[in-house]
Amino acid sequence: RSEIKAARAGQGLPLSSIKLPEPSFHTSIHTHKRDPGTLSLKVSTASIGGAMEAKGNWPNGARCAVTLTFDNMSEANELHRHGHAMGQYAEGAYAPRVGVWRILEMLERCRVPATFFIEGWSAERYPEAVKAIVERGHEVGAHGYMHEEWNTLDPATERALLEKTTAIHTRVTGAAPRGWRSPGAVMTKITVELLASLGYRYTSDFTDRDLPYMMEGGRLAQLPFAWVLDDYVYYGKAKNKAKFIL
């Protein structure tokens, strides 16, 4: 699943390097290792200077920024929900076996870096795909353990799954994940606190603004998204697509 969060412009800025002091938006520039002119910043669903947002400045006078992100990388969701990945439920396995490799080839050809939010189970089951993502200069963030209904978890289970997922990502990629996107973009009341305690630097779950901002307490950045820019609501099996799009 891919999500285009804004329009194209700008310099290379890894998602995890964003610095967001309030009230203005600022960033530190980090060039992409393969192409210093490539953009890699997940930012907003609109250009800077909108009526509802305080003005900020993108590097080199760019008017807006763009990023590509990809969620869900295996049959983890189907296994968790249905107990098997047979028949049509096998479609999740297409990602690590075929889809990811085609996407990586496309990104290499276009010289565009991206962020992949991957479940802990998926990273452990398909480490070769995750390592290939990292080796080609892309970021890997966490996306639950088996794409759970995250807002239904009790505190002990949530902490255990977060710690387990973080440990798996660290072992497979060689570095602790700095970004998080909850499965289905839902949270509990303690998710943000747990993420901060585990060393995460940002989440991408809220739909309350166009531009990134520091969350209350200043420990985590929030990189908002909009369902209308998520291809799942157009091509997936969402029960009420109008709810997300309109």
**Residues 154-181: tens digit of each pLDDT:** 999 999 999 999 999 999 999 999 999 9
How far, CA to CA in Å, does 142 sit from each of 35, 45, 59? 25, 22, 28
Q: What is the pLDDT of residue 1?
A: 42
Q: What is the pLDDT of residue 244?
A: 58
Q: What is the pLDDT of residue 9?
A: 35
Residue segments in the chain with a per-residue pLDDT below the cut of 50: 1-14, 17-52
Helix intervals (H) in the chain:
76-82, 94, 100-110, 120-125, 127-135, 155-173, 191-197, 232-235, 241-245
- Compute φ and ψ for 208, nearest 5 degrees: -100, -5
